[in-house]
């Protein structure tokens, strides 16, 4: 089974205006949507499009948490959230008025008892399972939570996927994650220099492998992606043609596609192709990629 973890899920309230936002005035929307999300939840959503079942883990609170949980169930996603007694699952307001303005909620405080409850759920994972950790860690939680979770799983053969930045990513390498997915700019920040060209990106990815990462997938927006797999082979792929309308969730979609592709075929080149198709399909869509969109781009790669 694939398990995704979203520490701080959200309901995105997206408001569209037909003119510029006027601060201090009453602004009337021409349309609005509610999107249920968070990085791990996004991964679960795209996995479902690919026919891969997953369980979304994390924390929810209050009536907004109940709403999010019901909404994901209506989409056919399996969840096993921990319910917090205090606070409310956050609402992020995103105003699209030419330029986009965002107001992101803080989310509930996550007590140590809730984190312990999550750890107990993860204790059931075995070598047949995949655990996907994505995004930042809320300020109410220990900032070494990723390390703590992977240390607890060490020796059980669970394939861990980590999509995070800087120290959050570097500090888990000692636990030999199956996959890490920095973008080229994040990879440059980690190694302390601007990376130009495939040769430098490959060398930086290999440096993270020497620290423990098994497979390093580097996304490069419109320039495609580069994978250094655990055998040392380098795989390079370009980006399919299309108009980028939404970058939110594209990285999560790439992770979902890569994991699904690898589990389905056991081949890293197939995983890279499907990951690239999924990431691009989301970037070319207003929401997360649908299967028909993924299939169309996959055929063009």
Question: How far is CA 73 from each of CA 3, 55, 70, 77, rounded to the nearest angstrom?
Answer: 16, 11, 5, 5
Return all residues near 30 (Cβ < 8 A) that are at least 6 apart: 16, 17, 18
144, 252, 269, 270: the catalytic one is: 252
- CA dihedral sign of residues 43, 48, 54, 60: positive
Task: Give the number of other CB atoms < 10 A from CB of residue 123.
Answer: 10
CA diameter of the chain = 59
Q: Distance between CA atoms of 82 and 264, rounded to whole angstroms?
A: 30
Q: In terms of residues, how long is the chain? A: 301
* 124: its two tokens: 């059931």
Question: How is the chain split among helix, strand and coil, in percent rounded to 5?
Answer: 40, 25, 35
Known catalytic residue: 295? no
User: Any idea which residues carry the catalytic annotation?
Assistant: 252
């Amino acid at each position: 089974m694939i398990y995704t973890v979203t520490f701080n899920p959200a309901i995105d309230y997206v408001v569209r205006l037909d003119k510029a936002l006027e601060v201090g005035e009453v602004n009337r929307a021409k349309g609005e949507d509610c999107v249920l999300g968070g990085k791990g939840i996004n991964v679960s959503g795209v996995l479902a499009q690919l026919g891969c079942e997953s369980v979304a883990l994390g924390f929810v609170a209050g009536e907004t948490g109940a709403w999010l949980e019901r909404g994901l169930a209506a989409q056919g996603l399996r969840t096993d959230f921990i319910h917090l007694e205090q606070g409310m699952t956050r609402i992020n307001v995103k105003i699209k008025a030419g330029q986009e303005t965002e107001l992101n909620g803080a989310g509930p405080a996550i007590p140590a008892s809730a984190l312990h409850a999550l750890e107990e759920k993860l204790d059931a994972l075995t070598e047949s399972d995949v655990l996907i950790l994505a995004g930042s860690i809320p300020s109410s939680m220990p900032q070494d939570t990723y390390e703590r979770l992977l240390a607890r799983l060490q020796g059980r053969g669970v394939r861990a996927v980590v999509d995070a930045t800087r120290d959050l990513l570097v500090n888990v390498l000692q636990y030999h994650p199956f996959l890490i997915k920095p973008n080229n700019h994040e990879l440059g920040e980690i190694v302390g220099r601007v990376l130009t060209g495939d040769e430098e990106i490959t060398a930086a990815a290999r440096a993270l492998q020497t620290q423990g990462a098994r497979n390093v997938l580097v996304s490069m927006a419109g320039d495609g992606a580069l994978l250094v797999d655990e055998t040392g082979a380098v795989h390079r792929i370009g980006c399919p043609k299309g108009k980028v309308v939404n970058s939110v969730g594209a990285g999560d979609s790439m992770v979902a596609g890569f994991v699904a592709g690898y589990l389905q075929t056991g081949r890293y080149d197939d995983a890279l192709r499907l990951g690239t198709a999924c990431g691009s399909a989301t970037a070319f869509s207003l929401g997360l990629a649908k299967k028909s969109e993924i299939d169309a781009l996959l055929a063009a790669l």
